[in-house]
Amino acid sequence: MNSKERVMTAFSCEVPDRVPIDYLANPGIDARLKAHFGLEPDDAEGLRKKLNVDFRSANVLYKGKKLHADIPDREVKVDNWGIHRKRIEHESGSYWDFCDFPLEHATEEEIASWPMPNPDDFDYSRIISECETYSQYAINGTGGFGDIINGNGMLRGMEQTLIDLVTDDPAGLLLADRRMEIQIEITRRILEAGKGKIDFIWLGEDLGTQNAPMISMEIFRKHIRPRHQKYIEVAQAYGVKVMMHTCGSSSWAYNDFIEMGIHAVDTLQPEVKDMSPEYLKKTFGGKLAFHGCISTAGPVATGTPDEVFEYCRRILDVMMPGGGYCFAPTHCLQDNSPLENVLAMYETAYQYGKY
């Protein structure tokens, strides 16, 4: 099988020739991996090939004007959605954390007039060439995660975002609808430009803490499910699969995911409630494909290469039977992950993940 065939077989909950492999990482460990393989700092494709990664993306470029100004005196970067980020240093590197939350106290009228990207201001002409370049790989054509809790939280703050969902606050719901409408239209245009060569879209909605749901099923069905259903309907119109990213304890929503037409679930943090490989495989195997399950907080970050090998092999032993599993970290590999552990992780997947 080539990578496209391998991933799509797994997404159909069938058995491929080997487990598909995916890669997500923070800048620090990403740079160390490229240096290890003698690659240039910007050679993302070279690294994907070294790690035998089966997934690729077809991306659009924004060509419009900058909609929100940065704040240089505070070293705050502001993107075209108006999300504020400030660089935070830590012992193993740094990351851009969200700050300020400019729409936390915004009214419905203020949110209605808040500048957001226009789908017309993206370059879709490069999509078909990317699809042809990566024709042997499984191609993701998403124009944004569509995540309501995280995405609104970046602008409105997490506390106010959750209050919005509980109280049906029209300002918060309008923010979700405006963001979702734009991302759905960008995705539709990407799928159209791909001319049938895009394989799946990748949505997201973090639904759990480490030990419980973040919201009730009532709120999920009232506010989250109907909005994502519109996204899924676009995917269905173009005949592509749908994968949903959900951090934390989120398997409580998976039966609804199946009803909605979602094919695969991502992240699968094995250390949190009702997310162990054994539970997921027993409860949802054959009905959902799985992408993730290799904890970024486990042996990959804290163990030895031998411990990483045994850990990854155990996950594969549980998830491989019957197909439907894609090997991937539960989130971006963190900068505190030792290089030799990450190499052991991917070597185990490639060598031990063969059927």
Give the mean pLDDT of the chain. 97
pLDDT of residue 95: 86
pLDDT of residue 155: 98
Residue 327's pLDDT band (boundaries 50, 70, 90)? very high
Residue pointed to by tokens 């030990």: 211
Orientation angle between helical segments 170-194 and 158-167, nearest 10 degrees? 100
When pLDDT is averaged across residues 69-91 and rounded to a whole number, the result is 95
pLDDT of residue 31: 97
pLDDT of residue 217: 98
Q: Token digits for 328? A: 């991937």
pLDDT of residue 91: 85
Q: Does residue 94 surpass a pLDDT of 90?
A: no
When pLDDT is averaged across residues 170-184 and rounded to a whole number, the result is 98
> What are the b/e assignments for 203-229, b being 16+ CB within 10 Å?
bbbbbbeeeebbbeeebbeebbbebbe
Three-state DSSP state, 98: strand
Residue 301's pLDDT band (boundaries 50, 70, 90)? very high
* pLDDT per position as a tens digit, 19-61: 999 999 999 999 999 999 999 999 999 999 999 999 999 999 9
pLDDT of residue 163: 98
The CATH code of domain 3-66+109-352 reads 3.20.20.210
Order the strands of the 84-90 sheet from edge to edge: 76-78, 84-90, 93-99
Q: Does residue 93 surpass a pLDDT of 90?
A: no
